[in-house]
Chains A and B, each alone.
Chain A
Amino acid sequence: MRLTLRVWRQPDADTPGAMVTYAVDGISEDMSFLEMLDTLNEELILKGDEPVAFDHDCREGICGACGVVINGDAHGPERTTTCQLHMRHFEDGDTIDVEPWRAGAFPVVKDLVVDRSSFDRIIGAGGYITAPTGSAPEAHATPVPKPDADFAFEHAECIGCGACVAACPNGSAMLFTSAKVNHLNVLPQGAPERETRVLDMVAAMDEEGFGGCTLTGECATACPKGIPLPSITAMNREWLRATRKVAR
């Protein structure tokens, strides 16, 4: 396959960037999107140009490091991560636009690399169960009904890639935050911190400068792990409940 790529190039956070056009040839349809970018980069290095910087690591769709906006879609046309998107979903001769996640809370670091540390701070604000090592009771002391365990798991699948924020016209992190809130709040182990968790995480989310939710549903459409939109509704419910219970 022969493709035309238009890639966002930006030397660093403080220098303005622009879309730059590259032609790549000899692309196999079995390549992943990142392997296609590898091919481009190998050529660029040999020409003495700087390769396109992009985040990636596991290339199995689980670490959440990779993620670019492909033709306007976070992670591209398939519902998966960029590393698991294969070139068979494109046609020979296509022009493909590749851009970084765009959000105020995800400043561009270089080219397609963005800073997602705001997600870590949201988790730090309450996305955990306080259980210092050694303090745990026997695992079978508290049975968890299977539906609750499954619900928790479905939300715990979030990989923190940021596609939800990138896809949201408001740059909102509601889906990411709600996934963690729902995962932990449904479990009996998470109950003691149920209220503080949701209040603190939502406050942290707001503080990081993410936008509000207008329920466009773009986040859930882009989510490679299929975190559903009702996840946000469930968090709203938790938040209102907590506001009533905890606030003075």
Chain B
Amino acid sequence: MENTADSTDGTDSTDFTDATDTKDRDEPSMNRTAHSAHFDYAAYTLGEPIADTRAPDGPVAERWNRRRFEAKLVNPANRRKHTVIVVGTGLAGGAAGATLAEQGYHVVQFCYQDSPRRAHSIAAQGGINAAKNYRNDGDSVQRLFYDTVKGGDFRARESNVHRLAEVSVEIIDQCVAQGVPFAREYGGLLDTRSFGGVQVSRTFYARGQTGQQLLLGAYQALSRQIAAGAVEMRPRTEMLDLIVVDGRARGIVARDLISGEVSTYFADAVVLASGGYGNVFHLSTNAKNSNATAVWRAHRRGALFANPCFTQIHPTCVPRSGEHQSKLTLMSESLRNDGRIWVPLTAGDRRPPAEIPEDERDYYLERIYPSFGNLVPRDIASRAAKNVCDEGRGVGPGGQGVYLDFADAIARLGRKAVEERYGNLFEMYERITAEDPYEVPMRIYPAIHYTMGGLWVDYDLQTTVPGLFAIGEANFSDHGANRLGASALMQGLADGYFVLPSTINDYLARNPHHDGIDDSHPVVAEAVAETEDRLRLLLAVDGDRTPDSFHKEIGELLWDHCGMARNEQGLRKALDRIPQIREEFWRRIKVPGTGEQLNQSLEKANRVVDYLELAELMCLDALHRAESCGGHFREESQTEGGEAARRDGEFSYAAAWEFTGTGTAPVLHREDLVFEYVHPTQRSYA
């Protein structure tokens, strides 16, 4: 199935004109303020198709072995001479840094937090999937592969997903060996539970703190390498630009957040493990300081950005309580194992939940999807919640919430068993809302949680900039248009422990020890100067709006028009508005203090700069993908029952965007997706 430029232009709901020649692709970044609003950003052009040339062909189950065998290796004695920069210390980054150092490479690793242990992977609650089939319930690598491709609504690569399923088994072994205290049965063996979108019990967990325990495992392995001198750790240092010399990633520009000093770091390869870009929405379940700067700067330097509109809205978050809300808190999806989701049957029913009799409640997930019930995938559960709230049946302040009720579970299992499973989550909920979920049903509402899109990478996890790799949530590779629960931890660790360390050798072996470069190299000097200029300008504007106010504005705009449901009109409106906000930003931003100190406003403002560009690409991607799939729901493309309608004929591809300048129309490169093993069908969880 071949998509041509014509077929996209011919889609019924969009009408794109060709890119005009008037735009200046070499627009200097500092001039962005003046120009951006005048160009039609949406008039993107179609570039050469892109293909994953690294993936071996042959039977899918043999590809990973083949790739590992065919990859060139670096002699152990020579590894010390290769420096690899790793940005980020979450599951992917921490695991990669530790593993590369174990292999003998010299690793220089960065995180903006005060310690590598604080990366946001730590907040993942529910669990990690692995095809161990310990339950003897019919699970297998094949089934995990199948579930993930289907869960991703057939927008992920088969080769990558199969590798992920294969490696999942090794991850559990690795983590247990590190001392990760997974939940165990009385016999001393590992316990598992089920998660949304699957019918087997393959999720390993450590109470509601699985991410924390896995991250600490990786952090401890990394700490060992730091103590041994194999990893040079740079905490409180934020990557602000990528250095590309002769077409290869050779280092980064980073700012010491304490002294404010902007410095360069050079390496033979750069690995971005900086996480997702969900914080572009301002209110998300991401950590407050999680940001898109590393990936966006890499994108500006030539790395294609794939499927930016594929964002995941998590169905079970604590609803917002007011304007002051600074972030949203997730309640693990595992709660849906035992909690039942409902709203009143009639709109406007304002009675307290206990006073609503059973026959006046609508357990809508169980009603619409009888076989998966409350355990439907996240995108479906989220949209269903939005639908009932749109019908006026939402509960709590503003009607933006649905009940997640544990009364049945407590009656069936006893309060103690429920406490054992979800105690910490209940406690957290009570802290935030001052309501006791043992007595009153929880109120939940969907929130931005994860971004499936990210830097385009090949099978080796290498971006389109040679020597630049992206792992974990920072890349786009494995989850398609929707990620299944407990698969983010799996992918982060798979990339970090097993995939990248086996593929980066190949690049390093084929590109041995480049000539040394230093700050005097014109490309380097330019990158540093650009970064310093940007920071200086942010400090110089001295306007009347805070960085946070702009972040809020762009976030709300995205949530309204590029959130749970999208349509052409809304997206066009957002695309019109974003350049205006950007222009206003550079006129009215106010950042007190100086750049030569710890300046959290400056950090924030600089991240917002990138959000203001990324948001635009997300809207364009959402606009161009006129189908619905996974987390991307286009109102124009739905079935009669209101379910997402995929249009495989036109959109069975990954959309990889090329940056051409701030506010100027990007170039779309399409990677066709080929399904040899899992035949695309309309997802059904009924």
Direct contact of A and B (CB under 8 A): yes
Interface residues in B, total, Cβ within 8 A: 86
A113 at the interface (CB under 8 A from B): yes
Q: Which 8 A-B residue pairings sit nearest by Cβ, starting from the closest?
A: A143-B188, A124-B227, A128-B220, A136-B177, A131-B177, A153-B181, A136-B173, A30-B321
Interface residues of A in 107-144 (CB under 8 A from B): 109-110, 113, 115-117, 119-121, 123-125, 127-140, 142-144
| A78–B427 alpha-carbon span in the complex (Å) | 12
**Residues of B close to A49: CB separation below 8 A:** 592
| A68–B597 alpha-carbon span in the complex (Å) | 21
Write 12 A-B pairs (CB below 8 A) sorted by A numbering.
Answer: A38-B324, A48-B592, A50-B601, A57-B113, A57-B120, A57-B290, A59-B287, A128-B179, A131-B179, A136-B173, A149-B183, A153-B207
B184 at the interface (CB under 8 A from A): yes
Cβ contact within 8 Å between A84 and B178: no
Known: A63-B118, A133-B174, A144-B188. A153 touches B206 (CB 8 A): yes
Cβ contact within 8 Å between B179 and A11: no
Q: Which of A31, A128, A136, A146 contacts B176 (CB 8 A)?
A: A136
**Residues of B close to A60: CB separation below 8 A:** 123, 285, 329-330, 428
Q: Which of A28, A109, A149, A153 contacts B322 (CB 8 A)?
A: A28
Q: Which of A64, A109, A120 contacts B258 (CB 8 A)?
A: A109
Interface residues of B in 553-594 (CB under 8 A from A): 590-593
Which residue of B is nearest A133, CB measured? B99
Cβ contact within 8 Å between B187 and A127: no
Cβ contact within 8 Å between B179 and A190: yes
Q: Nearest-CB distance from A46 to chain B (Å)? A: 6
Cβ contact within 8 Å between B117 and A53: no
Interface residues of A in 141-169 (CB under 8 A from B): 142-146, 149, 152-153, 156-157, 159-160
Known: A42-B548, A116-B114. A135 touches B177 (CB 8 A): yes
Known: A57-B120, A60-B329. A144 touches B227 (CB 8 A): no
Cβ contact within 8 Å between B188 and A146: yes
Cβ contact within 8 Å between B190 and A140: yes
B75-83, B208-216, B440-448, B510-518 - the one binding chain A: B208-216
Cβ contact within 8 Å between B324 and A133: no
B501 at the interface (CB under 8 A from A): yes
Known: A30-B321, A63-B122, A160-B117. A127 touches B188 (CB 8 A): no
B172 at the interface (CB under 8 A from A): yes
A92-100, A181-189, A239-247 - the one binding chain B: A181-189
| A183–B220 alpha-carbon span in the complex (Å) | 12
Cβ contact within 8 Å between A109 and B598: yes
Known: A32-B326, A136-B176. A58 touches B287 (CB 8 A): yes
Q: Nearest-CB distance from B281 to chain A (Å)? A: 15
Cβ contact within 8 Å between B325 and A57: no
A25 at the interface (CB under 8 A from B): no
A203 at the interface (CB under 8 A from B): no
Cβ contact within 8 Å between A39 and B324: yes
Interface residues of A in 52-68 (CB under 8 A from B): 53, 55-65
Which residue of A is nearest B327, CB measured? A59
Q: Nearest-CB distance from A153 to chain B (Å)? A: 4
Known contacts A80-B431, A124-B227, A133-B98; 6 further A-B pairs (Cβ under 8 A): A42-B549, A51-B601, A55-B114, A57-B290, A60-B123, A60-B330
The proximity string for B residues 291-334 relative to A, scoring 1 for CB distances below 8 Å and 0 otherwise, is 00000000000000000000000000000011011110110000
A237 at the interface (CB under 8 A from B): no
**Residues of B close to A157: CB separation below 8 A:** 209, 212
| A229–B174 alpha-carbon span in the complex (Å) | 31
B546 at the interface (CB under 8 A from A): yes
User: Chain A contact residues (Cβ within 8 angstroms of B): what range?
Assistant: 35 or more
Cβ contact within 8 Å between B120 and A131: no
Known: A34-B326, A51-B600, A140-B189. A156 touches B216 (CB 8 A): yes
Which residue of B is nearest A132, CB measured? B102
**Residues of B close to A78: CB separation below 8 A:** 431
A208 at the interface (CB under 8 A from B): no
Q: Which of A63, A123, A184 contacts B123 (CB 8 A)?
A: A63
Cβ contact within 8 Å between B114 and A117: yes
Known: A117-B114, A120-B116. A128 touches B174 (CB 8 A): no
| A153–B190 alpha-carbon span in the complex (Å) | 13
**Residues of A close to B95: CB separation below 8 A:** 133
Which residue of A is nearest B397, CB measured? A30
A12 at the interface (CB under 8 A from B): yes
B224 at the interface (CB under 8 A from A): yes
**Residues of A close to B224: CB separation below 8 A:** 124, 128, 130
A45 at the interface (CB under 8 A from B): yes
| A28–B132 alpha-carbon span in the complex (Å) | 48
Cβ contact within 8 Å between B598 and A53: yes
| A157–B226 alpha-carbon span in the complex (Å) | 22
**Residues of B close to A218: CB separation below 8 A:** none
**Residues of B close to A30: CB separation below 8 A:** 321-322, 324
**Residues of A close to B115: CB separation below 8 A:** 64, 116-117, 119-120, 160
Which residue of A is nearest B212, CB measured? A62
A86 at the interface (CB under 8 A from B): yes
Q: Which of A48, A62, A128 contacts B209 (CB 8 A)?
A: A62
Q: Which of A44, A55, A61, A149 contacts B428 (CB 8 A)?
A: A61
Cβ contact within 8 Å between A120 and B117: yes
Known: A11-B597, A116-B115, A117-B235. A59 touches B288 (CB 8 A): yes
**Residues of A close to B207: CB separation below 8 A:** 153
Which residue of B is nearest A32, CB measured? B326
**Residues of B close to A206: CB separation below 8 A:** none
**Residues of A close to B226: CB separation below 8 A:** 120, 124
**Residues of B close to A59: CB separation below 8 A:** 287-288, 326-327, 329
Q: Nearest-CB distance from A104 to chain B (Å)? A: 17
B432 at the interface (CB under 8 A from A): yes
Interface residues of B in 509-552 (CB under 8 A from A): 542, 544, 546-549
Q: Which of A53, A113, A133 contacts B498 (CB 8 A)?
A: A133
Which residue of A is nearest B124, CB measured? A62
Q: Nearest-CB distance from B119 to chain A (Å)? A: 8
| A130–B221 alpha-carbon span in the complex (Å) | 7
Q: Which of B177, B548, B599 contacts A129 (CB 8 A)?
A: B177
**Residues of B close to A2: CB separation below 8 A:** none
Interface residues of B in 185-240 (CB under 8 A from A): 185-190, 206-207, 209, 212-213, 216, 219-221, 223-224, 226-227, 233, 235
Q: Which of A65, A144, A183 contacts B113 (CB 8 A)?
A: A65
Cβ contact within 8 Å between A146 and B186: yes
